[in-house]
Amino acid sequence: MTSPGPDIRIAVDSAGLQRRIDELALISEAPAPVVTRVLFSEADLRGREYVRRAAREAALTLREDAVGNLFARWEGSEPGLAAVGSGSHTDAIPNAGKYDGVVGVLGAFEALAALKRAGFRPTRSLEVVMFTAEEPTRFGLGCLGSRLMAGSISVEKARGLKDREGRTLEELRCAAGCKGPLESVTLPPGYYHAFVELHIEQGPLLEAQKVPIGIVEHIAGPSSYRATLRGEGGHAGAVLMPVRHDALLAGAEIALAVERAAKGSGSPDTVGTVGVFRIEPGAVNSVPFGAYLEIDLRDARLGTRERALAEIRRTAEEACARRGVSMEFEEINADPPAAGDPRTVAIAQEVCAELGLRSLRMVSRAYHDSLFMARVSPTTMIFIPCRNGWSHRPEEYASPEHIASGVEVLAHTMARLAV
């Protein structure tokens, strides 16, 4: 059967989808409107159960792998063929909002439901994935589930991950009921025919240009680093300025170097952030003897990102040498950018044109699970506007109308890929 075209109406249950988004938002470690669901926390476990229940209510076949990635499948008429996938994540950083990731999971469920209501019968199976730990909150490493699925992180490195309390991934996943060896998470070759992720833009471009749909043709590559500095402490009144070895001030120079290198890289897509900056002992009357920074550096171009990193390291080494502070600089991860699959991008763009929806080809400067799915499958993303470009904050908002448009485009795109 051919996929539903613009003459066959796909009716998105916008009110029902918004109700489910609102319900999931109430499962949080903090009171509304804040959403916090850190990997394998009590709130994350309850959120996972909500997703399982939604999958069962949608009559989808559910399975879960050894790291907690959830797969909800609508079996096609030829189940031996590679499936068409969609999905995103439901974990949330502290003090987040209710749309990041969630629109891509619950929206994909609604896309499949809309196709069923339209009478569509897929040849290829359609599958929705809820990825484990897209956010790096627990282990300082994002997209853990999709990294393992794509084989982009070794099982040995994954087993060695620890949170701030020293709890390992093995300990936490077993306590959460995830069964099986981590080796089993890697997808077999050719598992997906294509993968399409629906997501809020997390940026201002679509809203500013009044365009309802973005189609991602490039995803910026993330990299992150730890800098551990050791100087000399002492009494704030007794240690004179000429003889100080202040770890905080060396760290401050590094933080400013990150900003300077990102702004001066020559690429409009380079962004650099010092998201963690801790000092020891943390007393107002004591010279800081220790500092710990975590640096996030991203770009859609690998060359300019590497030049920015070299500038940061050069400045850091000079600052520490000048101040008599030792530095240990460690790479946490450095992932290359990914390109969207031209055919999948073109199909999504054709769908928008047929539905009368303006679209914009874009770069995703935030990274997503699709960055790693692109290693194993033809992949693109469908973006919808979010108010003021805000994300990772309680004020995050996407309108029901924009969400419905995104779900409609996703449904038609998956249908065309599934025949």
The secondary element (H helix, E strand) that includes residue 147 is: helix 144-150
Residue 6 pLDDT: 47
Residue 327's alpha-carbon distances to 32, 127, 232, 288, in angstroms, are: 41, 47, 13, 14
Distance between CA atoms of residues 42 and 24, nearest Å = 14
Kindly list the averaged pLDDT for each block of 10 residues, start to end, along the chain of length 419: 56 98 98 98 98 97 98 97 98 98 98 97 98 95 96 95 96 97 97 98 97 96 96 98 98 98 94 97 98 96 96 98 98 93 98 97 94 98 98 98 98 97
Q: Rounded to an integer, what distance in angstroms lies between the CA atom of residue 279 and that of residue 293?
A: 9
Preceding amide of 33 cis, omega within 30: yes
Among candidates 379, 315, 329, which has minimal Cα distance to 149? 379
Give Dmax over CA atoms of the chain in angstroms: 82
Listed in sequence order, the residues at least 6 apart from 206 whose beta carbon sits closer than 8 Å to its beta carbon are 212, 213, 214, 360, 362, 383, 384, 385
Each domain of the chain, given as residue ranges in start order, spans 14-220+337-417, 222-334
Residues 174-233 pLDDT 10s: 999 999 999 999 999 999 999 999 999 999 999 999 999 999 999 999 999 999 999 999
The pLDDT score that the predictor gives to residue 187 is 98
| Whole-number pLDDT of residue 9 | 80
Q: Which pLDDT belongs to residue 8?
A: 62
* DSSP codes joined into one string, 210-228: T-SEEEEEEEPEEEEEEEE
pLDDT at residue number 7: 52
Residue 205: how many other CB atoms lie within 10 Å: 16
Q: Which amino acid is at 285?
A: N
Look at domain 222-334 and name its CATH class. Answer: alpha beta
310-320 in b/e burial notation, b at 16+ Cβ within 10 A?
A: ebbbebbeebb
DSSP at 74: E
What is the three-class DSSP state of 320? helix
Half-sphere exposure of 29 (CA within 13 A, CB side): 16
Query: How do 338-339 and 213-219 pair as beta strands?
Result: antiparallel
343-365 pLDDT tens trace = 999 999 999 999 999 999 999 98
What is the rounded distance in angstroms from the CA atom of residue 306 to the CA atom of residue 26? 41
Q: How many residues does the chain have?
A: 419
DSSP state of 46: H
In this prediction, residue 3 carries a pLDDT of 46
Q: Which two tokens stand for residue 283?
A: 């007393």
CATH class of 14-220+337-417: alpha beta
